Every structure is written in C-alpha cells, then in structure tokens.
Structure 1
C-alpha cells in the first residue's frame, strides 16, 4: 500500500499535531478491533489510519481536552 502524501493529509487536518493525534488514536482503535487482524492482509495499523484520514473516513475535532 502506498502511503498518502503529506500534502493530501495536511489538507484534511489543521496541523501536524492534529494529524499525529488522529493517526495514533485511529491506529489504537484498529489494533483493539478483533476483526482487523483477520482482514488486514499485512497492512500495519498506522498505514491504515493514514489511509482512512486521506480518504476522509474519519471525522475529528481538536478540543482543549484532546481529540474528540
């Protein structure tokens, strides 16, 4: 799987900090999903999280408490 470009990812978020937090949160959620490993086909959770962000599958909002 080819990684999405940083330019594309930055168009989906307001800062690199938000991108890192959103990616980490999504990757952790994928690792906790029991069906993910069966359907991953060798794709690492961080790569899948970046791909999901690039495709616009995630909706997130940066608050004072963190990502929502």
Structure 2
C-alpha cells in the first residue's frame, strides 16, 4: 500500500468522499483516478502530488515516499 492509500484510510474517508472533498476545493478529480494512483496504475503529475500533499497536510516528498517524515 502506498502512502496515498495509507493517509486516506488513516483519515477514514472513502475514495468517493476524498474525490468529492477535493472537487469542492476546486480540484476536479474522480474516485477512479484516485484509485489508479493508489494502485500505482497511474502516476500523478507534480501539481497533483502537491495538491494531494496539501489535502493531507504533508510534504509532497513524504507523499511520494522520498522522505520518512
């Protein structure tokens, strides 16, 4: 499991809930896209990593797995 899935589950939200929250904040994304990111079928663009990191209040480097803190 990658950090995106780990952080989402820790927050206790479904893929659908997360997609809805992000969309409400102006970042249009689907639960299917998030699932592809979690299952490493697709790689987010840098801008997307940054937005997702902001959503979880972590650094993009942590979310990607480059840092442990």
The higher-RCO structure (CA 8 Å, 6+ apart) is: 1
TM-score range, shorter chain: 0.3 to 0.5
> If the length of structure 2 is used for normalisation, what is the TM-score?
0.37
Going by fraction, where is strand more abundant, 1 or 2?
Answer: 1
> If the length of structure 1 is used for normalisation, what is the TM-score?
0.38
